[in-house]
Amino acid sequence: MTELSGRKAVITGGGTGIGLACAARLAAMGIETILMGRQLERLEAAAATLPDARAIRCDVTDDDSVTAAFSAAGPVDILVNNAGIAAAKAFHRTSMPEWQNIQAVNVDGLVRCTLAVIGSMRTADYARIINIASIAGLRGGAYVAPYSASKHAVVGLTKSLSLEYAKTRLTVNAVCPGYVETQIVEDSVANIMAKTGRTREEAIAELAKTNPQGRLIQPDEVAETVAWLCSPLSGSVSGQAIMISGGAI
């Protein structure tokens, strides 16, 4: 995929987990990568491990921060909307601020970043937007209603934008993994341990049961799908919600 050399990608939530794996995979394809997130020191440490990478602080919940970050980045060819948060709680115990916090990052933040690039991407000779959603955005899940709703919104937006810009060179797709071995899953494991008294191994096994293959997805597996969606050979693929779940659906 050397034809992508010289292209530029922004990856939000790029300092760890899926975001960093995506940045590393795209960098290996010759793409200039810009890692965005709230913790600049962590971003800079991650960027230092990649060729031709930069770190830019960006809080996706803040209009001014997003405007400044994308202004500093300049025109980009690829946007990987990866920044996201999750929480587990019974719906009847969920407060409106808790609900709104998840939507603010997972939905509104994604919209802000997309709006920041859509103007130039509409007329570009090559453009990709890849939204990291979740299998929870396709089938729902108990005790994760705010998160599931946010990811349903991401999938719906993906499908709508793919149709709206179908006559351009921009494709818009979503990647929907099951439980991925990242910090978010570590937080879920800790939550299970605290509420049920299970061991760490038992908590991980509980999450892995949602995958028919009986394992957690690895960040590199998600990154490989993102890399393919960036390829010129995926130019006819748009509006898709691609599952990485071991056949769970």
Catalytic residues: 147
According to DSSP, the residues that pair with 241 across neighbouring strands are: 174
What is the side-by-side strand order in the sheet with 241-244?
53-57, 32-37, 8-12, 78-81, 127-132, 170-177, 241-244
What is the gyration radius of the CA atoms in the chain, in angstroms? 17
Gap between the Cα atoms of 158 and 229, Å rounded:
14
Quick one: residue 159, left, alpha or beta (phi over 0 = left, psi -120 to 50 = alpha)? alpha
Asked if 241 contacts 133 with a C-beta cutoff of 8 angstroms, the reply is yes
- The percent of the chain in helix, strand and coil, each rounded to the nearest 5, is 50, 15, 35
- The DSSP letter of residue 4 is G
Total H helices, total E strands in the chain: 10, 7
- One-letter amino acid of 106: N
- Torsion angle defined by CA atoms of residues 213, 215, 218 and 224, in that order, rounded to the nearest 10 degrees: 0
